[in-house]
Amino acid sequence: MYRIAPSLLSADFARLGDEVKNVVAAGADLIHFDVMDNHYVPNLTIGPLVCAALRPHTTVPIDVHLMVKPVDRIIPDFAKAGANIISFHPEASEHIDRTISLIKEQGCKAGLVFNPATPLDYLDHVLDKLDLVLIMSVNPGFGGQSFIPGALAKLRAVRARIAASGRDIWLEIDGGVKTDNIAEIARAGADTFVAGSAIFGAPDYQATIRKMRGELAAL
């Protein structure tokens, strides 16, 4: 019911293959793969070549979070690199409906990402095509930022929309998720939790993921 998605952004980039294996052994359900282009967001990270290189090291789904603009050209590259889920920001696409179709044509699940100041109105028109909604609880670009509390109301609003749709759409939260706020975030409706610094910044990945699951189990 709940999924933990460690973000590689806070992993040791010199040892990414081992980091993926270790965090999956520690109980990760997904690998969250943050792609930044120094244009849509003010940081530069990893691309399809790294995704393809990591793919043989794990069988868990790779959850690609595209923070790039434009977005369409790079989508087939990530599909070929073994991505399972591809999410993008509406501000980064001229034609949101077309981008969603492109992701699905490539055989991947499609997600739409909402920044802290992005309204949910886009969901009026595309929720029925989405597999995942990702709510940002920080402004995208960097790990280790603090959770913006306004994301909780947004999660509640999206959870209501998903329930009304009757479809099994994942509701993911990204930014500032820690062991001490994950329960409150789950109560607001999230079922999939990205955590970068909370997991990779701690010495024992398994202990941290267990603590998170313990908080969720107590709900």
To Zn ion, the closest distance from the beta carbon of 217 in angstroms equals 25
Q: Residue 89, interface with ligand DX5 (CB under 6 A)?
A: no
Q: Which is nearer to ligand DX5, 82 or 143 (CB)?
A: 143
Residue 154, token pair as written in the block: 């947004």
Determine the length of the chain. Answer: 219
CB 73 within 8 A of CB 63: no
- Give the contact letters, 1-30, x = binds to ligand DX5 (CB under 6 A), - = no: ------x-xx--------------------
Q: Catalytic site residue 63? A: no
CB 153 within 8 A of CB 173: no
Q: Catalytic site residue 180? A: no
> Which of the choices ligand DX5, Zn ion, none does residue 93 contact, using the CB cut-off of 5 to 8 A by kind?
none
Q: Which is nearer to Zn ion, 82 or 125 (CB)?
A: 82
Q: Which is nearer to Zn ion, 143 or 189 (CB)?
A: 143
34, 37, 63, 191: the catalytic one is 34
User: Across 156-200, where does the E strand assignment appear?
Assistant: 170-174, 192-195
Quickly count: other Cβ atoms within 10 Å of residue 129's Cβ: 16
**Position among 131, 172, 174, 191 found at the interface with Zn ion (CB under 5 A):** 174
Q: Of 65, 43, 70, which Cα lies nearest the Cα of 175? A: 65
**Position among 102, 132, 194, 216 found at the interface with ligand DX5 (CB under 6 A):** 194
**Position among 145, 183, 210, 213 found at the interface with ligand DX5 (CB under 6 A):** 145
User: Across the chain, where does the E strand assignment appear?
Assistant: 3-6, 31-36, 62-67, 85-88, 109-114, 132-136, 170-174, 192-195
Residue 156, token pair as written in the block: 């509640």
**Position among 108, 175, 179, 188 found at the interface with ligand DX5 (CB under 6 A):** 175
For the chain, how far is it from start to end, CA to CA, in angstroms? 12
37, 63, 174, 191: the catalytic one is 174
Q: Which is nearer to ligand DX5, 46 or 75 (CB)?
A: 46
**Which one-letter DSSP state was computed for residue 155?**
H
| Window 34-73: residues binding ligand DX5 (CB under 6 A) | 34, 65
The residues facing 50 across adjacent strands are none
Enumerate the active-site residues.
34, 174
